């Protein structure tokens, strides 16, 4: 999970850029049926800190965010934040086709932050916690299922 201490140190976006990032990731994962939106699940911090590791990834994010605002201004003469959800969605579809590398990384990091957040998992009724060491109970295999296959003759050549 994102360590807030670490995230603070690795923050490189301006306040405006951070706000825009939150708006963008809430188009990607909006709130629904008791599940938080991406920004409510602190995913903006995760995205920013995961992309803070090199100048290439930092530039990818900042230039992608800039492209979103430029495209929004051209298409609607408005900032993304002032558009309806449908308009935001259609605008991001354009960005997805125009800047596939940026968009793939953004999706990857948004989903990574979201689906490892315990509040999100709880809201979806998903088992929270590590798969080991406890694990899960399962029924043993029932050999009777194999009756037909066993009597169907050999299936190999030598």
The residue among 27, 21, 34 whose CA lies nearest residue 86 is: 27
Size of the site for other proteins (CB under 8 A): 51
Pairwise CA distance, residues 85 & 59, whole Å = 26
The CB-of-33 to other proteins minimum distance in angstroms stands at 7
Residue 54 contacts other proteins per CB under 8 A: no
By CB under 8 A, the residues from 5 to 44 that bind other proteins are 27-30, 32-33, 35
Which two tokens mark 24? 């963008």
By CB under 8 A, the residues from 135 to 154 that bind other proteins are 135-141, 143, 145-146, 148-150, 152-154
Longest dimension (CA), the chain: 73
Which residue do the tokens 């296959």 mark? 149
Running DSSP on this structure, what letter comes out for residue 146? G
Residue 128 contacts other proteins per CB under 8 A: yes
Residues that bind other proteins (CB under 8 A): 1, 27-30, 32-33, 35, 85, 89, 92, 107-108, 110-112, 114-116, 118, 121, 124, 126-141, 143, 145-146, 148-150, 152-158
């Amino acid at each position: 999970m994102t360590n807030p201490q670490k995230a603070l140190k690795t923050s490189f976006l301006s306040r405006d850029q951070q706000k825009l990032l939150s708006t963008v990731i809430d188009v990607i994962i909006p709130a629904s049926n008791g599940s938080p939106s991406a920004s409510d699940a602190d995913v903006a911090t995760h995205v920013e800190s995961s992309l803070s590791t090199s100048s290439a990834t930092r530039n990818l994010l900042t230039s992608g965010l800039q492209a979103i605002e430029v495209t929004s201004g051209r298409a609607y003469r408005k900032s993304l934040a002032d558009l309806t959800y449908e308009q935001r969605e259609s605008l991001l579809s354009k960005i997805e086709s125009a800047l596939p590398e940026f968009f793939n990384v953004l999706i990857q990091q948004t989903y990574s932050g979201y689906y490892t957040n315990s509040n999100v998992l709880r809201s979806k009724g998903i088992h929270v916690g590590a798969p080991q060491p406890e694990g899960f109970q399962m029924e043993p295999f029932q050999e009777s299922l194999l009756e037909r296959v066993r009597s169907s003759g050999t299936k190999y050549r030598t």
